Structure 1
Amino acid sequence: MSPSWKRCRQVLLAGWLFAVGSVAQAAQSDYLPPWNPPPPGGVSFAVPPFDAIADLHGDIVDPQLTVFFAGNQFMVVHDLVEAFKQRYPQDQRVFVETLPPGILAKQIETGSLVMGNLRIALKPDIFTNGKSSIVELQKQHGWFAQTIDYARNPLAIMVAKGNPKHIEGLQDLGRAEVRVSMPNPQWEGIAKQIEASYRKAGGDALDRSIMQDKVRDGSTYLTRIHHRESPLRILQGSSDAAPVWSTEVYFQQQILHRPVETVAIPADQNVTATYTAARMKDAPHEQAAKDFLAFMASAEAQAIYRKYGFQPAQP
């Protein structure tokens, strides 16, 4: 083989490897949030992961309604808000945050949120969270004027398509070679629910293994924003299994058609959350807050929640 042909072959091989690497990198970057449709109008400029705000939605300037949603419901926001605005045309500027509920509660307490270089000092009209957390916050602070239950959601395990680590249940998450993505108990209410399921499946020993031993050795990763990080870690191959609310894996698999699968958790080991929406006593937009709370109980809103895999509030 001539030297010139060898050089040509090396160049071709290098080009092919670069192309394959670029495609793989592009495929991974395609998974980056935000995962909701953007609002219309204006100059569209989003450059993930640098300038792409996933959990702030809608109109932040002079909103006519501000809703702090538990972050795991980010997928319903677009459809829900559009339907609300059609029913209540007087309220067109709606701002929604879908952050971990522990962070949202601290935002209410301190009066503002700082995200990067941005400071937000809006008061919510509506706050949603798990029912038990709403009850506890009401005992502590007396924030809420009215509440309604609007949806339920059990836990599931998200794995990559094909289930390469052969995860069959929660006990498999204790295996040394299984990399687990877990919410941080400091600000994610779902962590306590998952730990309760660990204890049901394998006693305190399983819970300690996953939440202490594996955290120390790095095979359990504690997320700061579970509803974004955990799906991304599964999709990008950084984690093998992630306990999540069932709607989170449903959204990735059935709505976005991403390469993930659901491993069901048996009822006797599972936990089902009931979600509660609360109207703030000091809501800046009291009538809009009342309208939104009524809308959440409507057949239209309930149909949107069913579309994304949520169960009705009453079994």
Structure 2
Amino acid sequence: MRTLRTLAAGLAAVVAFGLAGCGGDKSDTNNVSPGSGTASSASNITGGITVFAAASLTESFTTLGKQFETAHPGVKVTFNFAGSSALATQINEGAPADVFASASPKNLAVVVDAGNSAGQSTTFVKNQLVIAVAKGNPKGIAGLADLTKPDLKVALCAEAVPCGAAAKTAIEAAGVKVTPVTLEQDVKAALSKVKLGEVDAALVYRTDAKASAADVDAVEFPESAKAINDYPIVALKNAKNAAGAQAFIEYVLSADAAKVLTEAGFQAP
């Protein structure tokens, strides 16, 4: 009888310990950091988060948005991708947004100077230009000097757009004069001209050329090192989801996000 009572007591202790252990695991799960891609203590974030982001961030931020939603069940991240100058104008005109990720500090400064940012911005990546050409580089373009040939059609971004400002800096550094047949409002539009065969070359970001590697080749050129763009991100003053905005920015600055951005071709800040 004593043996049976002893066994029963032992089993009860084991069950009690197991239940306590389950409770401890649940608590630990709730304290996992957002960057781990697992539900975290910030999982109390609800509703939608609207992110205005430079067109060159389209592929990377789309991936990060999905990862963030997985880490925060019930949260929906909506993106507005366009040229940074256009996005800054939209924000200052009252367009509803929680976060602004610009391809240039200059365009973000337009929002800050208008009093529409909340707190300090943070540079999270850098980007560099390449010459996008048709697959196989049929025109034999090797550098910026080749873009001056009269038989070549070249697309550039407008100077108000970060990729256009960077292109101007690089071209001036090369000491050449490039006459584009078109000036586009964002880097994706400039790249599409090459993909469609409407131009022979375009100055675009390395990341955009890499994302379209099936359709275009990228020609590196040394002057691009003089026109590297910083990408800052900031929460906005009139954010409808301030907590969500901050959580998304923290995720963009996490190690998990850095891996996605680096694989896309972005450089560390």
TM-score normalised per structure 1: 0.66
Q: Residues 152 and 311 of structure 1 are in contact (CA less than 8 Å); yes or no, is this contact kept in structure 2?
A: yes
Q: Residues 137 and 143 of structure 1 are in contact (CA less than 8 Å); yes or no, is this contact kept in structure 2?
A: no
Per the alignment, residue 172 of structure 2 pairs with 199
Which of the numbers 283, 292, 295 marks the counterpart of 2:251?
295
Unaligned runs of 5+ in 2: 1-45
Report how far residue 131 of structure 1 moved. Answer: 4.5
Report how far residue 299 of structure 1 moved. Answer: 0.8
Q: What count of residue pairs does the alignment treat as equivalent?
A: 223
Per the alignment, residue 65 of structure 2 pairs with 81
Distance 2:264 2:108 in 1: 26
Of all paired residues, the percent bearing the same amino acid is 25
Per the alignment, residue 240 of structure 1 pairs with 200
Larger radius of gyration: 2
Per the alignment, residue 132 of structure 1 pairs with 105
Report how far residue 168 of structure 1 moved. Answer: 1.0
Q: Residues 70 and 100 of structure 1 are in contact (CA less than 8 Å); yes or no, is this contact kept in structure 2?
A: yes
Q: Residues 154 and 270 of structure 1 are in contact (CA less than 8 Å); yes or no, is this contact kept in structure 2?
A: no
Distance 1:301 1:75 in 2: 12
Q: Residues 68 and 128 of structure 1 are in contact (CA less than 8 Å); yes or no, is this contact kept in structure 2?
A: yes
Deviations 1:107-137 (A, max 9, x none): 112234xxxxxxxxxx110001134225632
Distance 1:268 1:243 in 2: 10
SS of the residue 2:212 aligns to = helix
SS of the residue 2:82 aligns to = coil
Return closer, same or farther for 1:163/1:264 CA change in 2, 3 Å cut-off. Answer: same
Alignment partner of 1:96 is 2:79 = yes
SS of the residue 2:102 aligns to = strand
Deviations 1:217-240 (A, max 9, x none): xxx21123331x222221221101
The aligned runs of 1:37-56 (5 Å cut-off) are none
Distance 1:236 1:140 in 2: 39
Structure 2 letter corresponding to 1:310: F
Return closer, same or farther for 1:268/1:244 CA change in 2, 3 Å cut-off. Answer: closer
Which of the numbers 164, 174, 189 marks the counterpart of 2:138?
164
Report how far residue 289 of structure 1 moved. Answer: 0.6
Return closer, same or farther for 1:236/1:134 CA change in 2, 3 Å cut-off. Answer: closer
Q: Residues 128 and 225 of structure 2 are in contact (CA less than 8 Å); yes or no, is this contact kept in structure 1?
A: no
Q: Residues 200 and 269 of structure 1 are in contact (CA less than 8 Å); yes or no, is this contact kept in structure 2?
A: no
Which of the numbers 217, 222, 239 marks the counterpart of 1:266?
222
SS of the residue 2:127 aligns to = strand
Report how far residue 78 of structure 1 moved. Answer: 2.5
Alpha-carbon RMSD: 2.0
Q: Residues 88 and 111 of structure 2 are in contact (CA less than 8 Å); yes or no, is this contact kept in structure 1?
A: no
Q: Residues 102 and 108 of structure 2 are in contact (CA less than 8 Å); yes or no, is this contact kept in structure 1?
A: no
Return closer, same or farther for 1:137/1:268 CA change in 2, 3 Å cut-off. Answer: closer
Return closer, same or farther for 1:170/1:87 CA change in 2, 3 Å cut-off. Answer: same
Structure 1 letter corresponding to 2:230: T
Which of the numbers 160, 163, 166 marks the counterpart of 1:190?
163
Return closer, same or farther for 1:236/1:106 CA change in 2, 3 Å cut-off. Answer: same
Alignment partner of 1:222 is 2:183 = yes
SS of the residue 1:130 aligns to = coil
Deviations 1:66-113 (A, max 9, x none): 00001111111321111111222242x22101111111111112234x
Distance 1:131 1:151 in 2: 11
Structure 2 letter corresponding to 1:221: T
Deviates more, 1:137-146 or 1:302-311: 137-146
Q: Residues 101 and 189 of structure 1 are in contact (CA less than 8 Å); yes or no, is this contact kept in structure 2?
A: yes
Per the alignment, residue 282 of structure 1 pairs with 238
Q: Residues 85 and 107 of structure 2 are in contact (CA less than 8 Å); yes or no, is this contact kept in structure 1?
A: no
TM-score normalised per structure 2: 0.77
Alignment partner of 1:107 is 2:90 = yes
Unaligned runs of 5+ in 1: 1-61, 113-122
